[in-house]
Amino acid sequence: MRPSTAPAVLAGGAGMALVGSSVGVSQTLIDAPQFTAQAVRYALAAIVLLGILAVAGQRPRCPRGREWGWLAGVALSGLVVFNIAVVRGVAHAEPAVIAVAVACAPIFLSVLGPLAQRHRPAPAIAVAAVVVTGGSVLVVGTGTTDATGVLWAIVALACECGFTLLALPVLGRHGPYGVSLHSVWLGAIMFLGLGVTVEGPRAVFSLSAGQWVAVGWLAVAVTAAAFVLWYSAVRTLGPGPAGLITGIAPVSAALCGALLGAAWPGPGVWLGIAVVVGGLAAGLLTTRAGARRDPPAPLPQPAEVDLA
C-alpha cells in the first residue's frame, strides 16, 4: 500500500469501528423518542464540528447551486431514511436481517462507486467485496423476516450506499469536514421536523440521563468523528476500495457487544472475522498494485486547509 493511502485506510477503519460501537450504545435508546433523539444527536454533532473548525481557524464553505441537492440527499438517505428503515425494519425482521442487507454495501459500492466517477469497476475489488460481505454475514448471522422486513432491509442498503455515493460530487470542494457538517445540520433539521410533528415539542424532556449519555456518544464519536474519518478514506481511496472497509463495522459491533456484556463470539463469528480480514487484505493489496500501475486521479482538493 502506498504510504499516502495507509492513513486513509486507518481512518476508514477507525470510522467503521466507531460505527460498530453504536450497536450496543443504541440499545439504551430503544424506549426513547427516536426522532427527537436523532435530532439532538445530529445537532450536537454539528456543534462539535463547528467547534473543531473554529479552533483551527477555518470556515466551512457555503453550498451553492446543485450542491444543496447532493448534501440534502446525503442527509435524507444516509441519516433520516436509513434510521427510519432500521427502526421500521426490525419491527418486521430480526436485526440480523437488516445487518445482512447493510453488509452488502461493499458489493454495490465496488461497482456503483467507480461508475459514478466514470471509471470501470475493478473486478478484483468486486470479488474482494463479495468476500468481505460473506464474512460480515457470518459475523452478524441471519434471521427471519416477512416481505415488509425485506423491503425495509433493501431501503436500508440503498441508503447506506447513498450516504457515500451522493457525497462524491461535493467531497472535492467541501472536504470531509464540510460534507460531514452540512449533512448533519441538515439531518438535524429534518429530524427536528419529524420529532415535533410525531412526538411533540416536549419529547426532548423525556430523555433520561443514560439516554443523554448515549446520544452524546453517538453525536461525538459515531457521527462527528466517524463521518469525517469515513469521508477522508473515500476521498483518498475512492468509493470502491473504501467500501471494503465497511466490513469492519459488524466485526466491531460483535466485539463491542461482548465487551458490554453480550455473549462472547462463537467459532462461526471468529470465522467470519477472519474472512472479513482476508477480503480486506486481498482487496487493499489489489488496490496498491493497481495504483502503482495507474495511479487514480484524486478528488479535487478544497482550498481551505484540510484538517483530516
In a domain, 91, yes or no: yes
In a domain, 298, yes or no: no
- Has residue 61 got a pLDDT over 90? yes
In a domain, 304, yes or no: no
Average pLDDT for 120-130 = 85
In a domain, 306, yes or no: no
Q: What is the pLDDT of residues 71-90, one digit of tens each?
A: 999 999 999 999 888 888 87
In a domain, 108, yes or no: yes
The C-alpha atoms of residue 90 and residue 87 are separated, in whole angstroms, by: 6
Q: How confident is the model at residue 127 (pLDDT cuts 50, 70, 90)?
A: confident
How large a percentage of the chain has pLDDT more than 90? Answer: 42
SS3 200: coil
- Has residue 290 got a pLDDT over 80? no
Lowest mean pLDDT among 9-13, 38-42, 64-68, 112-116: 112-116
pLDDT in the model for residue 303: 40
Q: How confident is the model at residue 305 (pLDDT cuts 50, 70, 90)?
A: very low
Domain around 109: 6-293
Lowest mean pLDDT among 95-109, 224-238, 250-264: 250-264
Residue of 223, 171, 301, 288 whose CA lies nearest to 26: 223
In a domain, 16, yes or no: yes
Tell me the backbone φ, ψ of residue 66, rounded to 5 degrees: -65, -15
The C-alpha atoms of residue 105 and residue 108 are separated, in whole angstroms, by: 5
Q: What is the pLDDT of residues 174-200, one digit of tens each?
A: 999 999 999 999 999 999 999 999 999
SS3 146: coil
Q: What pTM was computed for the model?
A: 0.84
Cell numbers found for residue 236:
483518498
- Has residue 293 got a pLDDT over 70? no
**Looking at the 3D structure of the chain, how many domains does it have?**
1
What amino acid is encoded at 255 in this protein? L
In a domain, 186, yes or no: yes
pLDDT in the model for residue 161: 93
In a domain, 212, yes or no: yes
Q: Which residues contact 261 (CB under 8 A, 6 or more apart)?
A: none
Cell numbers found for residue 36:
427527537
> Are 308 and 175 a contacting pair, CB within 8 Å?
yes
